[in-house]
């Protein structure tokens, strides 16, 4: 209960009760509230200027710190994936593709990125744009490398399935048996032609043997020619598949025909002296992917190491060829 106050009225010479005025009370309350609001504002400004973080700022800082930690962890994961993939790529090029006679995949193909100068334009304008763009590029490049490697392994798997057919197709024996040979007259390389009398590239090997000596297919394949060839006389060409092709020239007669499928070791003709030839012999060539190669590298099925060394020595002599 509020205390009643009185005052002395000099005009009436008596005490009167003090009456409160409503307007004055409201004014007092307004002044109090205004002062409180100003005080709160001043305190807020003082806290802000003092560097004390608000709860919202502290939450944002924690989120940013967590994102940075996640980014660092992702970078480590990407680096580890790149290392593992590089190891697979090296084994793919140096072991798997060599084993199955497939050309290695170049680094340019494996490491190529994605085209388009505006590919990462949407990532510009942020505080960490360069970091974000670099990460996006690494991920894109890693994705491309994985796709290339996946296709390579698919190819290797297919080659593995075809390995048996490949081994049958590769020219792997001498076209004339050692017991029938008189000698190896000339090997692969620059030789003097016996009839034209000038030095030119000799694309195969010459095996001298008596006329009528059997000539054998050096690998499985399809006969694509059994006819006269310019300078080769009577000749047989066999397509073995997998890029391999063999030529047998200067025959006396055929034992096969165009379109026939032959097996390694099957007789396809007989030694002769047809075409530009200076004596009975077989001229033999091996082609791989459209290019002639040295046949001496393909006699691994029917020669001992000693026999191979002797043949290699004879074939390397720069003597005159027979064709």
Residue 297 tokens read as 């590298």
d(CA 322, CA 278): 5
Classify the phi-psi angles of 41: left when phi > 0, otherwise alpha if psi is within -120 to 50, otherwise beta: alpha
Within-domain flag for 194: yes
User: What does each C-alpha distance from 188 to 42, 242, 321 come to in angstroms?
Assistant: 99, 22, 10
Within-domain flag for 303: yes
Residues of the domain holding 77: 70-161
Are 183 and 312 part of one and the same domain? yes
Closest CA to 133 of 162, 160, 147, 113: 113
Are 311 and 177 part of one and the same domain? yes
Residue 143 tokens read as 């994705």
How far, in whole angstroms, is CA 21 from its chain's centroid? 94
Q: pLDDT 10s per residue in the chain (323 long)?
A: 556 666 666 676 666 666 655 555 666 666 666 766 677 666 666 655 555 567 777 777 777 777 777 777 888 888 888 877 877 888 777 777 777 767 888 777 777 655 555 677 777 766 667 777 777 778 888 888 888 888 888 888 887 777 788 888 889 888 988 887 776 656 655 555 555 454 566 678 888 889 999 999 999 999 999 999 888 899 999 999 989 999 999 999 999 999 999 999 999 999 998 888 778 889 899 999 998 888 877 775 555 566 556 556 655 555 544 55
Q: Which residues pair with 201 in a beta bridge?
A: 190
Q: Give the three-class secondary structure for 31.
A: helix
What's the pLDDT score for residue 271? 94
Q: How many domains does the chain have?
A: 3
Element (H, E) at 169: helix 163-169
Closest CA to 87 of 95, 98, 76, 77: 95
Are 137 and 180 part of one and the same domain? no
* Among 138, 161, 184, residue at a domain's last position: 161
Are 145 and 279 part of one and the same domain? no
Are 154 and 176 part of one and the same domain? no
Are 207 and 311 part of one and the same domain? yes
What pTM was estimated for this model as a whole? Answer: 0.49
Closest CA to 222 of 261, 184, 170: 261
Are 180 and 312 part of one and the same domain? yes
Within-domain flag for 190: yes
Within-domain flag for 62: no
**Cα distance between the two ends of the chain:** 139
CATH of the domain at 219: 2.70.70.10
Are 178 and 302 part of one and the same domain? yes
Residue 305 tokens read as 């190491």
What's the pLDDT score for residue 279? 82
* Among 161, 186, 213, residue at a domain's last position: 161
Within-domain flag for 155: yes
Burial (CB count within 10 angstroms: exposed 0-12, middle 13-18, buried 19+), residue 321: buried
d(CA 193, CA 128): 73
Are 230 and 98 part of one and the same domain? no
Within-domain flag for 166: no
Within-domain flag for 322: no
The total number of residues shown for the chain amounts to: 323
What's the pLDDT score for residue 224? 95
What's the pLDDT score for residue 265? 92
Within-domain flag for 186: yes
Dihedrals φ, ψ of 110, to 5°? -70, -40
* Among 129, 161, 193, residue at a domain's last position: 161
Q: Give the three-class secondary structure for 113.
A: coil
d(CA 310, CA 207): 14
What's the pLDDT score for residue 93? 79
- Cβ atoms of residues 185 and 281 within 8 Å: yes
Interstrand relation of 233-241 and 205-208 (parallel, antiparallel or unpaired): unpaired
Are 79 and 42 part of one and the same domain? no
Are 42 and 144 part of one and the same domain? no
Are 219 and 310 part of one and the same domain? yes
């Amino acid at each position: 209960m509020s205390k009643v106050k009185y005052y002395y009225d000099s005009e009436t010479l008596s005490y009167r009760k003090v009456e409160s005025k409503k307007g004055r009370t409201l004014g007092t309350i307004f002044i109090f509230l205004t002062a409180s609001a100003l005080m709160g504002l001043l305190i807020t400004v003082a806290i802000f200027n003092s560097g004390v973080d608000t709860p919202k700022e502290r939450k944002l800082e924690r989120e940013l710190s967590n994102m940075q930690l996640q980014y660092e962890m992702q970078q480590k994961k990407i680096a580890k994936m790149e290392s593992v993939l590089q190891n697979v790529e090296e084994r793919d090029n140096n072991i798997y593709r060599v084993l199955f006679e497939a050309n290695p995949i170049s680094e340019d193909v494996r490491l190529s990125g994605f085209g388009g100068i505006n590919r990462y334009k949407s990532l510009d304008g942020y505080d960490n744009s360069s970091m974000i763009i670099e990460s996006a590029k690494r991920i894109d490049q890693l994705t491309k490398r994985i796709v290339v490697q996946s296709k390579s392994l698919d190819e290797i798997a297919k080659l593995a399935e075809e390995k048996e057919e490949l081994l049958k197709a590769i020219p792997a024996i001498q076209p004339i048996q050692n017991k029938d040979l008189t000698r190896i007259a000339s090997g692969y390389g620059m030789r003097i032609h016996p009839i034209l009398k000038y030095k030119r590239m000799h694309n195969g090997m010459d095996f001298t043997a008596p006329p009528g000596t059997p000539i054998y297919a050096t690998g499985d394949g399809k006969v694509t020619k059994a006819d006269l060839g310019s300078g080769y006389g009577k000749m047989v060409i066999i397509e073995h598949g997998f890029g391999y092709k063999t030529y047998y020239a200067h025959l006396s007669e055929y034992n096969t025909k165009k379109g026939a499928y032959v097996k390694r070791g099957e007789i396809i003709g007989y030694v002769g002296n047809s075409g530009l030839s200076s004596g009975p012999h077989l001229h033999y060539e091996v082609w791989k992917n459209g290019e002639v190669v040295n046949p001496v590298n393909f006699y691994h099925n029917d020669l001992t190491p000693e026999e191979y060394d002797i043949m290699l020595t004879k074939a390397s002599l720069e003597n005159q060829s027979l064709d």
